[in-house]
Structure 1
Amino acid sequence: MRLTTPRLHLRPFRTSDLTAVQQIYGNPKLEAMAGWAPQTTLAGSQQVLADFMQSDEVLALVTRQTQQVIGSIGIHRQAPDATTRELGFILAEAYWGQGLMLEAVQAVTAYGFEQLQLTAIWVGHFQSNQQSQRVIEKAGFPFEYELERPRLFADDQPTTECYYQLTQAAYQHQKNK
């Protein structure tokens, strides 16, 4: 899958993306917002990149202007239901507040409903992650529910996670406005 927005190329990851993966996925601030342990070793970053390269669900976000990898976005299968998927994304901190992730989310959402013929797309964020909340809401995903998650890592406190769902019907309604 390859998608293009006005300012981004969304493409499969390549081995040449390792430095960008190290920088993005090694940022403790970003990883805490996403619920992952930061990748502090080269081997950890190589494994993340290898996993991305083996998947047909995760794309690199690449600026059209500089051709630099600035994040990732995935539309993950939700077994056993092949008609719904879960959206996940991360963006390098230097690119926050520019509307880039909204562009990517809208492109992947359109792909999911128009090409994959999904019936629904889910997305969640930790309650404290207001940046993701804004992207999700601007992309038209209605709030569904929240739940408290146990600790992700040994030294974490439980956290509240908020979930949103956009259905095919709601997507079509928004598109036709």
Structure 2
Amino acid sequence: MWGLKKSFPELATNRFTLRELEPRDARALYTILSTEDVMRYYGSDPLLAVYEAKNVIAYFKDQFQQGKAIRWAICDRVTDELVGTIGFHNWTPQYYRAEIGFEVAKSHWRQGVAHEAATAVINHGFNEFKFHRISALVAPENDGSNRLVQKLGFTEEGLLHDYAYSHGRFMDLTMYRLLRDEWVMRGERG
């Protein structure tokens, strides 16, 4: 699809390798996605078994092969430990836009993991996938993610009432946007 190469792009930051999720990541991904605190704002319930993590990995692979989404494993560059995932979904090629999503293992919260990975992924999105707009949908009460997207330069556009359904309830989500020109104007990127 537009801008996507057939091979999965591997990215590197100072501390992390961003690579394709592989079946060997299933147990670590299960540990992350079965944690209630991590999944509170994820949009689905915590996983209950390792096979569900294998299904998530297969789903992400299929979405990439179809040109609909991409999800990187965030791995420690030294140990290759999986500490989270990040990527783009809800691609709308004719409008050059996508949404960014991520989660980080609770053991790695407040260590700058998502910021470092997001910076690399956003650069790739604007430079290689030729996005014009990247959106982020964040629950208003998700303080950490709201702070992160604001620090990355996203602008709040409004509140989407009862936009998602998760954990047995409807949830409001704040819509954020980052335009390519806004990212480039920040100077250190793009």
TM-score above 0.5, yes or no: yes
TM-score for both structures, normalised by structure 2? 0.86
Distance 1:97 1:90 in 2: 12
Work out which of the residue numbers 163, 168, 174 in structure 2 matches 1:155: 168
Distance 1:154 1:142 in 2: 27
Q: Deviations over 1:86-110 (max 9, x none)?
A: 1000000110111111011111111
TM-score for both structures, normalised by structure 1? 0.92
CA contact (8 A) 1:2 1:12 kept: yes
| Residue aligning to 1:101 | 114
CA contact (8 A) 1:127 1:159 kept: no
Relative distance call for 1:176 and 1:69 in structure 2 (3 A) is: closer
| Residue aligning to 1:66 | 79
Q: Which has the higher mean CA deviation after the structures are superposed, 167-176 or 107-116? A: 167-176
CA contact (8 A) 1:124 1:161 kept: yes
Relative distance call for 1:94 and 1:150 in structure 2 (3 A) is: same
Shift of 1:155: 2.9
Shift of 1:151: 6.2
Q: Deviations over 1:50-85 (max 9, x none)?
A: 112333311100011321001100112433635101
Asked if 1:119 corresponds to 2:132, the answer is yes
CA contact (8 A) 1:120 1:167 kept: yes
Distance 2:88 2:167 in 1: 28
CA contact (8 A) 2:162 2:172 kept: yes
Structure 1 residues 26-37: aligned runs within 5 Å = 26-37=34-45
Structure 1 residues 73-92: aligned runs within 5 Å = 73-79=86-92, 81-92=94-105
Relative distance call for 1:153 and 1:141 in structure 2 (3 A) is: closer
| Residue aligning to 1:24 | 32
Asked if 1:53 corresponds to 2:65, the answer is no
Asked if 1:39 corresponds to 2:47, the answer is yes
Q: Secondary structure at the match of 2:40?
A: helix
Relative distance call for 1:153 and 1:16 in structure 2 (3 A) is: same
Unaligned ranges ≥5, structure 2:
1-8, 65-69
* Aligned alpha-carbon RMSD (Å): 1.8
Distance 2:26 2:166 in 1: 25
CA contact (8 A) 1:15 1:49 kept: yes
Relative distance call for 1:66 and 1:127 in structure 2 (3 A) is: same
Distance 1:151 1:119 in 2: 25
Q: Which has the higher mean CA deviation after the structures are superposed, 58-67 or 142-151? A: 142-151
Partner letter of residue 65 of structure 1? V
Distance 1:154 1:12 in 2: 28
Distance 1:12 1:72 in 2: 10
* Percentage of pairs with the same residue: 26
